[in-house]
Amino acid sequence: MASVSRYDIRDIGLAPEGVRRIEWADRQMPVLRAIRDRFARDRPLAGLRIAACLHVTTETANLMRTLQAGGADVLLCGSNPLSTQDETAAALVAEYGIPTFAIRGEDHDSYYAHIEAACDHRPQLTMDDGADVIGVLHSARREQLGTVIAGTEETTTGVLRLKALEREGKLAFPVIAVNEAQTKHLFDNRYGTGQSTLDAIMRSTNTLIAGTRFVVAGYGWCGRGVALRARGMGAQVIVTEVEPVKALEAVMDGFAVMPMLEAASIGDIFVTATGDKHVLAGRHLELLKDGAIIANTGHFNVEIELPALRALAVSSRTVRPSVEEFVLADGRTVYLLAEGRLVNLGAAEGHPATVMDMSFSNQALSAEYAVRNASSLERRVYAVPAEIDREIARVKLATMGVEIDRLTAEQELYLASWDEGT
């Protein structure tokens, strides 16, 4: 058993349960496991200080073990106050010797104190999910920017923030946008968010999805996944969008598409997945049916206008774990899940390990790539190299026992030519 002195977690006594759960997830993360084995041999991250700010889950624990196997001196803090699995945090500290700063349900001050602890690690590589560490380094900790070689970013919202920083010419080091890898967003955002969001709604409410009018705000990869799975459960799915091409795609995928002002008075269950703020705003909340369930699966808790909900309510109480009932002035009730934070991690366990296997393989290989290529990378947001993406897909398929065809020499020649026609 390893041990560390720096940490802030709920209860170190939870470690044995955390270890069992981390091992369970690891069984479903064969690609990451293979990378860990290679990292243990090659030590590509030897001596590198990494500050990771990620959801503290069993899957993240296996990524931390992989970075550690590669020789990194890694510290982890949570990337959301409500997503931490306390037993995982305990195991990281007690069993794997990884300084961890995260407590499920922590308040704003504790959350930011933990980000500060990550910065105190004086990272040479940052690994964010939502760009919070990079945000602090670029504002309150600017004197540390020169120490950082590169960063990686896990999620759509974080990549948007980093691209804004880049546009303003203020990004101080290169960042690899892991979210942009196909083996990340096509699977994690779509199938991971799709399944875990439905899982969270069902775990917290035990409501029957079949026959409900289920409103999905946003038809990006996450929204598509939620809409697909809700339809699979028998819901009548309504999509709201602001982007015409995505809206058109939703229409042709067979979903009803309408403005939120129209959907608000029809829906039974609402899930926001846009990355934007006030998608379910006060003017929508006023129209909700009695008993409506509202949840957010986007990164930040700004998609539902919570101050407006509180202002409309005459009382509120917790009626089940992760379910808060708001009674409005006219007697209608509205049920808010997971405080409007990302419901799939707040009220369930986040994406299953099988998809996080690919997301976190991208993280590990992007960290290695960034360190190897540090001298040639500029202060920009980079996509994950296509070769990493393809390699992860190749290995994932192999671990699933799926074989695919190869181009013949004749086919390769044909694809590379322009003069063979009808």
Closest CB 54 distance from ligand ADE, rounded Å: 6
Closer by beta carbon to ligand ADE, 50 or else 54? 54
- b/e burial code for range 281-295 (CB count within 10 A of at least 16 → b): beebbeebeeebbbb
Closest CB 284 distance from ligand ADE, rounded Å: 26
Rounded Cα distance, 149 and 372, in Å: 10
Closest CB 63 distance from ligand ADE, rounded Å: 8
Position closest to ligand ADE via CB = 350
Closer by beta carbon to ligand ADE, 78 or else 174? 78
Closest CB 92 distance from ligand ADE, rounded Å: 13
Closest CB 362 distance from ligand ADE, rounded Å: 12
Closer by beta carbon to ligand ADE, 179 or else 205? 179
Residue 358 · residue 351 · CB < 8 Å:
no
Closest CB 30 distance from ligand ADE, rounded Å: 16
Closer by beta carbon to ligand ADE, 83 or else 212? 83
Q: Which residues lie near ligand ADE (CB under 6 A)?
A: 54-55, 57, 59-60, 192, 345, 350-351, 356
Closest CB 158 distance from ligand ADE, rounded Å: 12
Closer by beta carbon to ligand ADE, 111 or else 326? 111
Closer by beta carbon to ligand ADE, 54 or else 285? 54
Closer by beta carbon to ligand ADE, 102 or else 136? 102
